[in-house]
Amino acid sequence: MISKYDKKKKAPGLFKTVVDWLWRQLSSVRLAVILILVITGLSLLGALLIQVPSEIAKDPQAYSNWVDTVARSKVGAWTPFLSALRLFNVFSSIWFIIACTLLVLNIFICSVNRWSGISLSLRGGLVKQNENFYFNDNNYAELKDIQAPVAEAAMISEKILRGRGYRTRTESDENNIYIAADKNRYYRLGTYFSHFSLILFVLAFVAGSYLGFRDVNFTVPVGSICEIGHDTTLSLKLVSFVDEYYDNGSPKDYRSEVVLYENSQPVKQAIIQVNHPMVYKGIRFYQSYFGPATKMQVRDENGQDVFNDNVPMDSSFDLEGVRRYEGFFELQLPEASLNIRLIGSAVNAEDPMIPAGNIAVDVSQNSKQIDFKLVELGTPEVVGGLEFTFLEESKFSGFQVSRDPMNIFIWIASILFVIGICAVLYFPYRQVWVLSHPLGQGSSRLVIRTRAPRGFRDTSELNILVNKIEKELQTPPIKGGKGR
């Protein structure tokens, strides 16, 4: 009789109950599928939505200005919602980090749960089985009336199995000899290569988003030098840009001739083309896109230049069916910080609001408009107390600039994943059991059962083994299960 004390003592504690529940949830295959879908969805959003440069994301004020100017021009009314969810910085968002962390835990726990079965395979399971075991599957065959004693039939079977690459183990009792054979047992560890590669891939990707950077909207107008930032001390000058087209108007090639500076000293000159990046100290420069630019001169009330450079018109918007390019830059004056928005004439259409050869200048401070005027090419115009001159039209080239110090680990993870998949798919774990049983007067019978993982359940291996044993023993036809 069990006392109340014993019952209370044997009852699992709350902590153990909670841990067991969490363990079951985190080892769920359904959870893994959901997490993979979530990460895929977030990655798709990161590819489709404009992403804030990492340096701007670190500064709350700069991020707010970027959202109000750049992001709002791209997504419009959705801007506050997407910003609140941190979807302009997807790969550093709490959603992405939580999903990746849970996926790593899920893979780790699933790997731990599978170890008991895999370790049993490495050691080898039971050799001696009851007779019903051999007939408890369709993949079996029975050879009767073998004109050879039990020991000889077992020895020939073991010889053939070893010739086929199987590891064999034998046991015997008063009458029977039992053989358990398996092959490719170490290739089952390939699943851990795949699991570890996924963990390494996720960790490397997350770490790379913090330790490295990726700027997909780095624009440089022709003749201008732009700092790359990200603590690199690098800057890039666009010497020239050329775009070529086929007769039907489709793009043939576009390329940028650039000079790279480090600490204001030229360190590399190259031509960047699509699929032909420039690489310097692990930083890659990819040709991404191009567009129009506007060279502007801005003077203060004393006639001193406060800005004289090309402005990339790297954004666009549609208004009443008319598409216009726009560009932005910031003026840091002693008394104020002004945001300047330039709006070009309509693309491939007459524009009654902004005629060709004009640029609209919108001056604002703290998101409040101060002045708005048209500036004609070559004619100075005072806008918001400053003199703006539209000097010339030019072009800009857009680059994707990235550095990923974890890139080597991404390659290692990819190689491990391929090794793991190949090990599991091309070297499936196979098992064979053989029972050698006496029939009397020097004759015996063999019962052979095979087993392979799901997806490999065919009878070809069983047929090969049986045919070889038949040939060695010269037995009459057999009676068997599936495939025989």
Q: Taking 90 as the threshold, does the pLDDT of residue 278 lie above it?
A: yes
Q: Which residues of 120-149 are buried (b: 16+ CB within 10 A; e: fewer)?
A: ebeeeeeeebeeeebeeeebbbbbbebebe
Q: Output the pLDDT for position 265.
A: 94
Q: Do residue 269 and residue 385 come from a single domain?
A: yes
The structure tokens listed for 106 are 């899920």
Q: Taking 70 as the threshold, does the pLDDT of residue 2 lie above it?
A: no
Q: Average of pLDDT values for 377-383? A: 94
CB of 239 within 8 A of CB of 221?
A: no
Whole-model pTM: value is 0.65
Last residue of a domain, one of 85, 115, 145: 115
Q: What is the pLDDT of residues 228-257, one digit of tens each?
A: 988 889 999 999 999 888 888 777 888 999
Q: Average of pLDDT values for 213-223? A: 87
Last residue of a domain, one of 64, 98, 115: 115
Q: 12 pLDDT band (50/70/90 cuts)?
A: low
Q: What is the pLDDT of residues 421-443, one digit of tens each?
A: 999 888 989 999 999 999 878 88
Q: How far apart are the first and last CA of the chain?
A: 56
- Where does residue 230 fall: left (phi above 0), alpha (psi -120 to 50 degrees), or beta otherwise? left
CA distance 40 to 90: 12
Radius of gyration over every alpha carbon of the chain, rounded to an integer in angstroms: 36
For the chain, the average pLDDT equals 87
CA distance 158 to 179: 7
More confident residue, 387 or 55: 387
- Domain with 247, as residue range(s), is 213-403
Q: Do residue 254 and residue 377 come from a single domain?
A: yes
More confident residue, 375 or 4: 375
Q: Could you tell me if residue 204 is inside a domain?
A: no
Q: Could you tell me if residue 409 is inside a domain?
A: no
Going across the sheet that includes 177-183, the strands are 167-172, 177-183, 430-440, 443-451, 140-146, 479-480
Q: Do residue 129 and residue 109 come from a single domain?
A: no
Q: Average of pLDDT values for 77-91? A: 88
CA distance 266 to 237: 10
Q: What is the pLDDT of residues 395-413, one digit of tens each?
A: 999 999 988 888 899 999 9
Q: Output the pLDDT for position 89.
A: 87
Q: Could you tell me if residue 450 is inside a domain?
A: yes
Q: Do residue 350 and residue 220 come from a single domain?
A: yes
Q: What is the pLDDT of residues 457-478, one digit of tens each?
A: 567 888 899 999 988 887 554 4
Q: Output the pLDDT for position 458.
A: 62
CA distance 116 to 216: 47
The structure tokens listed for 21 are 């529940």
CB atoms closer than 10 angstroms to residue 395 = 21
- How would you write the chain as a 3-class SS string? CCCHHHHHHHCCCHHHHHHHHHHHHHCCHHHHHHHHHHHHHHHHHHHHCCCCCHHHHCCHHHHHHHHHHHHHHHHHHHHHHHHHCCHHHHHHCHHHHHHHHHHHHHHHHHHHHHHHHHHHHHHCCCCCCCHHHHCCCCCEEEEEEECCCHHHHHHHHHHHHHHCCCEEEEEECCCCEEEEEEECCHHHHHHHHHHHHHHHHHHHHHHHHHHCEEEEEEEEEECCEEECCCCCCEEEEEEEEEEEECCCCCEEEEEEEEEEEECCEEEEEEEEECCECEEECCEEEEEEEEEEEEEEEEECCCCCEEEEEEEECCEEEEECCEEEEEEEEEEECCCCEEEEEEEEEECCCCCCCCCCCEEEEEEEECCEEEEEEEEEECCCEEECCEEEEEEEEEEEEEEEEEECCCHHHHHHHHHHHHHHHHHHHHCCCEEEEEEEEEEECCEEEEEEEEECCCCCCCCHHHHHHHHHHHHHHCCCCCEECCCC
CA distance 468 to 479: 16
Sorted by sequence, the CB contacts under 8 Å of residue 465 that are 6+ apart come out as 160, 161, 164, 432, 448, 450
Q: Output the pLDDT for position 455.
A: 53
CA distance 159 to 473: 12
CATH code where residue 462 lies = 3.30.160.110
Sorted by sequence, the CB contacts under 8 Å of residue 136 that are 6+ apart come out as none
Q: Do residue 344 and residue 443 come from a single domain?
A: no
Q: Taking 90 as the threshold, does the pLDDT of residue 447 lie above it?
A: yes
Q: Could you tell me if residue 11 is inside a domain?
A: no
Q: Output the pLDDT for position 168.
A: 95
Q: Output the pLDDT for position 240.
A: 92
Q: Do residue 265 and residue 385 come from a single domain?
A: yes
Q: Do residue 293 and residue 350 come from a single domain?
A: yes
Q: Output the pLDDT for position 483.
A: 42
Q: Is the dihedral of CA 473, 478, 480, 484 positive or negative?
A: positive
Last residue of a domain, one of 115, 137, 155: 115
Q: Taking 90 as the threshold, does the pLDDT of residue 334 lie above it?
A: no
* Phi–psi pair at 340, nearest 5 degrees: -110, 130
Q: Output the pLDDT for position 183.
A: 93
Q: Do residue 172 and residue 82 come from a single domain?
A: no
Which of 387, 343, 383 has its CA nearest to residue 365?
383
Q: What is the pLDDT of residues 293-331, one digit of tens each?
A: 999 999 998 889 999 999 999 888 887 778 889 999 999
Q: What is the pLDDT of residues 130-181, one digit of tens each?
A: 989 998 877 899 998 888 899 999 999 999 999 999 999 999 998 899 999 9
Q: Do residue 73 and residue 133 come from a single domain?
A: no
Q: Do residue 222 and residue 267 come from a single domain?
A: yes
Q: Taking 60 as the threshold, does the pLDDT of residue 58 lie above it?
A: yes
Q: Do residue 257 and residue 379 come from a single domain?
A: yes
Sorted by sequence, the CB contacts under 8 Å of residue 194 that are 6+ apart come out as 416, 417, 420, 421, 424
The structure tokens listed for 288 are 């991404």
Q: Is the dihedral of CA 94, 95, 96, 102 positive or negative?
A: positive
Q: Could you tell me if residue 207 is inside a domain?
A: no
How many structural domains are present in the chain?
3
Q: Could you tell me if residue 191 is inside a domain?
A: no
Q: Could you tell me if residue 421 is inside a domain?
A: no
Q: Output the pLDDT for position 479.
A: 47
Q: Could you tell me if residue 170 is inside a domain?
A: yes
Q: Give CA separation, 446 vs 21, 380, 443, in Å.
A: 47, 102, 10
Q: Do residue 385 and residue 432 come from a single domain?
A: no
